[in-house]
Amino acid sequence: MRNTLLEYFTNFISINTQSDPNSDTYPSTEAQELFAEVLAGKLSVMGMKNVDVDRYSYVTAELPANTDEELPVIGLIAHMDTSPDYSGAGIRPNIIADYNGSDIVLKDNVIISPAEFPILKKYVGKTVITADGTTLLGGDDKAGMSEIFTAMDYLIKHPQIKHGKIKVAFTPDEEIGAGVDHFDTKKFGCDFAYTIDGGDEGEISYECFNAARVKINIRGKSVHPGSGKDSMINAALLAMELNALLPAETPRSTEGYEGFYHLTDIKADVSRASLEYIIRDHDRQKFEARKDKMRAAAEKINEKYGSCTELEIYDEYYNMAEVIEKNRFVLERAVKAAEEAGVKPDIRPIRGGTDGARLSFMGLPCPNLFTGGHNFHGPYEFVVLESMEKAVETILNIVKA
């Protein structure tokens, strides 16, 4: 199983499939369309049935039941895109067998240190995989993809393991909040499902953020600085002033159930400025209050400088706990499966979101399971091969009759 898992993972991450938040196509990048066809080919060669790539590049397939026992149809879902936050081109895996607990020194002065990331101490003696320091690794979510592929390959090669019908799906554009914009849950045909898109070993999540994206445009007034008294309006300074009106609750200063405002992009000069934020909170009322504070900040700038600021807020997804609480058997099945794999379940809220959040509200209860990855979306990312193996075992235990 280990060699199969590692082969899938290194193959998948070698293909750049970053999504693009500024694209007006679906999927947002041609690379994802091409990758979807690659995945479909691999699923067919493996022996999966009803392999399909639809017009939106959703890849689906099924493993038929091998028992007459009436069992639920279970779905397994991962996303094929990687984050646009950091380069995903030319990923070169750095495989550290029997990790000794020291600093991991990579290119571009990137050091993954136990002093900064104490969780590394847990993996002394394990196989740690990083990129080379110039890219992200792509474990989010190609670790999850590899684990689903490996689990299906194992079941096909071990028909003595009885199971009901299993459906798998690989989605594009999850990283830009559009992963299931066109997903047909009825066509997928599952009773419940799991996204394999979590973090370190044992993490099982059925709570996530409520999420919104904010776009702000500020129009300044460019006047020669020598004669700009009482007439110049510097859009770059207004952008800074607007940001200062928000509570100092950022990803750096928050944890657990705490929400935040996160400035993801800013472009500014004297005449114009554009800012993009994401707003996150587990509590729905606090989430709505955060959006109100963002609107109030923009209104205050307009009151002070004239109607120079335009703001748009787009809700992305909501906390799936609302749905999973009514279908706790789905969570309990995952907890039991992890325990049977020798993994201590760690039920915690996701400080992010998954396709499963939106799918849950589309009628498909869908908690999130661990992949064995850490520090996603940047050069400090790493996965632990032994944890990936435990993820495969957990999947197998979930789908066994």
CATH code: domain of residue 156: 3.40.630.10
Point out the least confidently predicted range of 132-146, 148-162, 219-233.
219-233
- Are 115 and 202 contained in the same domain? yes
Whether the per-residue pLDDT at 82 is higher than 90: the answer is yes
Q: What is the number of other CB atoms lying within 10 angstroms of the CB of residue 97?
A: 10
pTM: 0.86
DSSP state of 400: B
> In whole angstroms, how large is the CA radius of gyration of the chain?
23
- Are 141 and 276 contained in the same domain? no
Last residue of a domain, one of 280, 301, 316: 316
- Are 369 and 253 contained in the same domain? no
Cβ proximity of 2 and 385 under 8 Å: yes
- Are 247 and 125 contained in the same domain? no
Whether the per-residue pLDDT at 223 is higher than 90: the answer is no
For 36-67, the pLDDT digits (tens) are: 999 999 999 999 999 999 999 999 999 999 99
Sign of CA dihedral 342, 375, 324, 62: negative
Strands 203-205 and 346-347: parallel
Whether the per-residue pLDDT at 316 is higher than 90: the answer is no
For 159-201, the pLDDT digits (tens) are: 999 999 999 999 999 999 899 999 999 999 999 999 999 999 9
pLDDT of residue 281: 96
What is the number of domains present in the chain? 2
Enumerate the active-site residues: 81, 174
- Are 180 and 285 contained in the same domain? no
- Are 273 and 360 contained in the same domain? no
For 119-134, the pLDDT digits (tens) are: 999 999 999 999 999 9
Domain that holds residue 276: 211-316
pLDDT of residue 228: 85
Cβ proximity of 272 and 235 under 8 Å: yes
E strands present in 54-124 = 59-63, 74-79, 94-96, 104-105, 111-112
Count Cβ atoms within 10 A of the Cβ of residue 401 and give its class: 0-12 exposed, 13-18 middle, 19 or more buried.
exposed
Last residue of a domain, one of 285, 316, 347: 316
Whether the per-residue pLDDT at 297 is higher than 90: the answer is yes
Whether the per-residue pLDDT at 352 is higher than 90: the answer is no
CATH code: domain of residue 229: 3.30.70.360
